[in-house]
Amino acid sequence: MPRVIEGNLLGTGKRFAIIAGRFNHFITDRLVEGALDTLVRHGVQDQDITLIRVPGSFEVPMAADRAARSGRYQAIICLSTLIRGDTPHFEYIAAETTKGIANSSLSTGVPIAFGVLTTDTIEQAIERAGTKAGNKGAQAASAALEMANLYEQLNQP
Ligand code: DLZ
């Protein structure tokens, strides 16, 4: 039987930061609610959760990187909503946001969960913000809990 290492979803005693974009806040606020609900139901105390608001998706990785480097959080959850418009703007911001979050997580060694919606329509965003396709914020929080636990185990001798 191989040795299997995997994170559980227990959040007791761990600190988390949520970075949330204000742009399209009608949708992103639902993602924040989903993430908060998941963290609290897995044992994270209110005082161990910090919500950091930024203007939009482009600024999300910048704040996530700062939060990760502060050493205060066992994991970070990035939440924002990008909805495609008529220009290539969407592609540029989506690419930078995605790359920025991944780079920051790899370079800081802090797990950073990706809860950024990238949709063609408002309807698709609503579906992923707590209606028929679930809540991407809750899923990202779950990934953050699991990764925080996994890293804790991987750091043990
Ligand atoms: C400018 C802009 C546009 C057009 N669309 C979105 C979007 O769909 N979702 C989002 O989170 N942010 C958007 N932004 C704002 C940029 O992310 C950024 O905040 C501004 O360009 C200022 O740097």
Say if 121 falls within a structural domain: yes
Say if 5 falls within a structural domain: no
What one-character-per-residue DSSP string does 75-97 give? Answer: EEEEEEEEE--SSTHHHHHHHHH
Region of 74 on the Ramachandran plot (φ > 0 left; ψ -120 to 50 alpha; else beta): alpha
Atom of ligand 1 nearest to the CA of 57: 11
The pLDDT, as a whole number, for residue 88 is 86
The pLDDT, as a whole number, for residue 157 is 78
Say if 10 falls within a structural domain: no
The pLDDT, as a whole number, for residue 48 is 98
- 79, 128 in Cβ contact below 8 A? no
Tell me if residue 89 is catalytic.
Answer: yes
The pLDDT, as a whole number, for residue 47 is 98
Q: Which domain holds residue 94?
A: 16-150
In this structure, the residue with its CA closest to atom 9 of ligand 1 is 82
Domain CATH for 115: 3.40.50.960
The pLDDT, as a whole number, for residue 34 is 98
Contacts of 113 (CB under 8 A, 6+ apart): 75, 76, 77, 78, 140, 141, 143, 144, 147
Partner residues linked to 118 by β-bridges: 82
- Please report how many Cα atoms fall inside a 13 Å half-sphere around the Cα of residue 132, on the Cβ side: 3
Say if 36 falls within a structural domain: yes
Q: What is the CB < 6 Å shell around ligand 1?
A: 21, 23-24, 55-59, 80-83, 85, 89, 93
Say if 156 falls within a structural domain: no
How many domains in the chain? Answer: 1
Say if 1 falls within a structural domain: no
The pLDDT, as a whole number, for residue 86 is 86
Model confidence, pTM: 0.97
Reading the chain (157 residues) residue by residue, the pLDDT tens digits are: 999 999 999 999 999 999 999 999 999 999 999 999 999 999 999 999 999 999 999 999 999 999 999 999 999 999 999 999 888 889 999 999 999 999 999 999 999 999 999 999 999 999 999 999 999 999 999 999 999 999 999 998 7
User: Hunting for tokens 């809540």 — which residue is that?
Assistant: 135
Atom of ligand 1 nearest to the CA of 22: 11
In this structure, the residue with its CA closest to atom 5 of ligand 1 is 82
Closest CA to 75 of 157, 9, 6: 9
In this structure, the residue with its CA closest to atom 4 of ligand 1 is 89
Closest CA to 148 of 79, 100, 78, 76: 76
β-pairing verdict for 49-54 and 16-21? parallel
The dihedrals phi and psi of 86, each to the nearest 5 degrees, come to -90, -5
